Amino acid sequence: MANKKDFTRRTRQRRRAIDVLYEVDQRGRLSAGAIHKLAERRTSEHPTQTGLPGYSRTIVDGVADHLAHIDYAISSYAHGWSLDRMPVVDRAILRVAIWEILYAGDITPAVAIDEAVKIAKLISTDNSPGFINGLLDTIATVKPGLLAQETELSAVEDDYTPSFDDSDFASDVDFADEIYDDEEYDAALDDGSPLGEDVVDREEVAPESGEKPSEEEPAADEEEESEPEADAADAEPSEQDGPADEVSEDELLADYALRRGSADDDKDDHPTLFD
């Protein structure tokens, strides 16, 4: 176990920075803003504690400025351990050491690792020094790649401009109210002009499909209802059925009476309609 008497002035300043990061993380409010705020409070003189030394404040502010990338490095190379499963004190030690390895130009990686292991032996678990040593050694090895990656991501974020404009959303009716203000939208509906090249009015969109019916295929509600087919027995004779079917009722009755009268004289030669 490390002895406090072996701590140099810089070691004690690292320990103070670790205390600040530990306190913020322990409260569950870890963020760049929360770290800066607590560092500001700890920098001022306190009745029971001296103010945060200059190098301690430099470390804390540096960790806050690069917090996302530092935590990304820890999560990427702490094989078998997720960031939230690590002891809070180990996370604080690692954040300080990784900031020194990546961003402190006057501190060599070997010194940063040695200081982190020394502090871990004093304030963390028995297994922590070996774990911290191995992880920090890996971080030091991949340092150029981590810095290049952070620079690339920062450039993308700073220089980002959308690769689209409002016209790309013109055909989406759902976005019409967001792209055009109320006056433009109402004016377009009044004079019939489209909001974009392919925009259709909300009233013309089919309620279920969301698509305008094509001109070739009529909408479902525009289809004419077909009349039920009449039974063969009830069907009226058409004009094409020929003259034999066009017999009046009087003619039928006369023919019936004639046949009925002759049936009495000669049944065999003149059968009736009912035989």
Residues 53 and 137 in one domain: yes
166: pLDDT strictly greater than 50: no
Containing domain of residue 114, as a range? 4-158
Does a structural domain hold residue 223? no
Q: Looking at the structure, do residues 97 and 173 belong to the same domain, yes or no?
A: no
Would 229 be classed as within a structural domain?
Answer: no
**124 backbone φψ class: left, alpha, beta (φ>0; ψ -120 to 50):** beta
- Bigger pLDDT: 191 or 173? 191
Phi/psi of residue 38, nearest 5 degrees: -70, -35
**What's the mean pLDDT when you consider all of the chain?**
72
Same domain, 103 and 45: yes
Better-predicted residue by pLDDT, 156 or 169: 156
d(C-alpha 148, C-alpha 144), whole Å = 6
pLDDT of residue 4: 60
Q: How far apart are CA 226 and CA 245, in angstroms?
A: 28
Residues 11, 93 within the same domain:
yes
In a domain, 103, yes or no: yes
pLDDT at res. 257? 63
Residue 230 DSSP code? P
Specify whether 27 is located in the same domain as 151: yes
Whether residue 180 sits in one domain with residue 49? no
Bigger pLDDT: 262 vs 39: 39
**Tens digits of per-residue pLDDT, 91-146?**
999 999 999 999 999 999 999 999 999 999 999 999 999 999 999 999 999 999 99
29: confidence class by pLDDT, cuts 50, 70, 90: confident
Q: Is the Cβ–Cβ distance between 204 and 212 less than 8 Å?
A: yes
> Could you tell me if 65 and 73 are in contact, meaning their C-beta atoms sit under 8 angstroms apart?
no
Looking at the structure, tell me whether residues 51 and 142 fall in a common domain: yes
Segment holding 93, helix H or strand E: helix 88-103
Number of structural domains the chain divides into: 2
Residues 61, 183, single domain; the answer is: no
Residue environment code for 174-203, b if the CB has 16+ CB neighbours within 10 A, otherwise e: ebbeebbeeeeeeebeeeeeebbeebeeee
Regarding pTM above 0.75, the answer is no
Q: Is 270 a member of any domain?
A: no
Q: Is 250 inside a domain boundary?
A: no
Q: Report which of residues 256 and 25 the model is more confident about.
A: 25
CA distance 213 to 275: 63
Q: Residue 15 belongs to a domain with what CATH number?
A: 1.10.940.10
Structure tokens at 253: 């009755």
Whether residue 263 lies inside any domain: the answer is no
Domain boundary among the residues 213, 232, 247 is at 213
Is residue 41 domain-shared with residue 100, that is, in the same domain?
Answer: yes
Q: Please check whether residues 130 and 81 belong to one and the same domain.
A: yes
The whole-angstrom separation of Cα 87 and Cα 128 is 9
**199 and 147 housed in the same domain:** no
Residues 146 and 57 placed together within one structural domain of the fold: yes
Q: Which of 24-28, 50-54, 149-153, 253-257 has the highest mean pLDDT?
A: 24-28
Of 53-67, 139-153, 163-177, where does mean pLDDT reach its minimum? Answer: 163-177
The confidence score (pLDDT) of residue 151 equals 80
With cut-offs at 50, 70 and 90, classify the pLDDT of residue 169.
very low
End-to-end, the C-alpha distance of the chain in Å comes to 130
